[in-house]
Amino acid sequence: MVNRQVAQKNMLMGNYARAPLAFSHGEGSWLISTDGGRYLDFASGIAVNNLGHGHPALVAALTKQAQKLWHVSNLYTIPEQERVAEMLCARGKLTKAFFCNSGAEATEAAVKMARRAQYHQGQVSRRTILCSEGAFHGRTIAMLAATDREAFREGFGPMPQGFDHFPFGNMNVLRDRLIADSNSPEPEIAAIMVESVQGEGGAKPLPHGFLEELRALTSEAGCLLIADEVQIGVGRSGHFFSYEPSGITPDIVAMAKGLGGGFPVGAVLASDAVGAAMDAGSHGSTFGGNPLAMAAVGAVLEVLDEEFLADLRARAERFLQMLVALVGRHDALIEVRGQGFLIGLVLKDGITPAAMTEALRARHLLVVPAAAQTLRLLPPLNASMQEIEHAVSIIDAVLTHEEFS
Ligand SMILES: Cc1ncc(COP(=O)(O)O)c(C=O)c1O
């Protein structure tokens, strides 16, 4: 049912294509609309509400901190920040952390750190950041240059220099480029930035073995490896960091989205060598890492232990199997891909992800459209098997509808 209050014209800028639907509260994997409807939330605020809505550990941690201290400036020591930095670095096998407030701030800071680290080591010509075609790294001006989608850039030029792209998953092209660059008298490449599974790009995982080879190549060529874990990180892949199964450690890791379970917070983790370049005054953020944000991150980290992640992997595997079974039964569904709880349903040409999203929403299942004819399923990481089965039954019913068959 259309919520007329929301559908009315208002004073907000038109930069979002909003659905005429508003929510008053949430309970676990469910959102309750202002007109009383219950919606199964497999969008999770676009990979943010990792623990669903109103998780007791998160509510308790934030409530407790809200009564003590919300914000102090980074002019002072913030013990809560030091504690969370230690927890994150231990999990990421890295040694330095910086806190900000969003994904684009984290990726942008990661780029600054990569350039600064090269500069610090006397590699002043190494300024270019190589990104993958189809990547999404955020909406600031610099991150639009890192993101190669023209539609996002229209009217916002000129784009900053120092970004270039390689074809998604194409190791041959990348290897040739890196070797040629490192053999030139003035190498240009400072870092490669990749998402191990492209989120906005359509839940597209890098080919098997790509990260391992990329790590070896970047180390050999003298450039840095930045992992953009903003969407796939913080457990969404089934591992705390998505690259864990590959055994690699990037030089720099950008995080946000699920990190605060809904509280706006981002982070960048880095190696000692990168951290050494970031001396006092080199970068900053007024709100970054305030005690309230740190309370949220601390609570999320405590919930996402190894036992939780192993259980998530088992649920994700069963979810995937159920979805793959739909491919054989519905012409409209071409492929199921992704990792963990970042799952993409690739639709046949002629069926738009937006139309399918709307049809699912009409049946009270929330999902997110993506590029490349893909629909994204981003359940809360603690979604139950019963909720997963319910989502599959709604998808099955919508695909059976003649509009999509
Ligand atoms: C991989 C990736 N990087 C960066 C961003 C930008 O994050 P934010 O919207 O919090 O700035 C996103 C957002 O979707 C993302 O998916």
The average confidence (pLDDT) of the chain is: 96
Name the residue range of residue 207's domain.
Answer: 57-303
Whether 185 and 77 share a structural domain: yes
The CATH number assigned to the domain holding 109 equals 3.40.640.10
Amino acid identity, position 342? L
**240 and 336 together in one domain:** no
Predicted pLDDT at 2: 46
Is 137 close to ligand 1, i.e. is its CB under 6 Å away? yes
| pLDDT for position 281 | 96
Q: Which atom of ligand 1 is nearest to the CA of 264?
A: 10
3-state secondary structure of 336: strand
The values of phi and psi at residue 33, to 5°, are -75, 165
b/e sequence 65-97, b meaning 16+ C-beta within 10 Å: beeeeeeeebeeebebbeebbeebbebbebbbb
Asked if 113 and 207 sit in the same domain, the reply is yes
pLDDT at position 403: 75
**Ligand 1 atom at shortest distance from the alpha carbon of 231:** 16
Q: Are residues 333 and 359 in the same domain?
A: yes
pTM for this predicted structure: 0.97
Question: Which pLDDT score, from 0 to 100, does residue 8 have?
Answer: 55
With the C-alpha atoms ordered 320, 323, 325, 327, is the resulting torsion angle positive or negative? negative
> Would you state the structure tokens that stand for residue 386, as one six-digit string?
């019963």
Q: Measured in angstroms, how far is the CA atom of residue 230 from the centroid of ligand 1?
A: 6
Q: Are strands 252-255 and 224-228 parallel, antiparallel or unpaired?
A: parallel
Residue nearest atom 3 of ligand 1, based on CA coordinates: 137
Please indicate whether residue 260, judged by its CB atom, sits closer than 6 Å to ligand 1: no
* 114 close to 226: Cβ distance less than 8 angstroms: yes
Same-domain check for residues 204 and 150 = yes
Query: Residue 1 has what pLDDT?
Result: 44
The count of structural domains within the chain is 2
* CB 274 within 8 Å of CB 251: yes
Q: Are residues 14 and 92 in the same domain?
A: no
pLDDT of residue 405: 73
Q: Which residues of the chain have pLDDT under 70?
A: 1-8, 402
CATH code of the domain covering residue 37: 3.90.1150.10
CA atoms of 351 and 332, how far apart (whole Å) = 7
Q: Give the atom of ligand 1 at the shortest distance from the alpha carbon of 232.
A: 1
**Residue 311 and residue 297 share a domain:** no
The answer to whether the CB of 231 is under 6 A from ligand 1 is yes
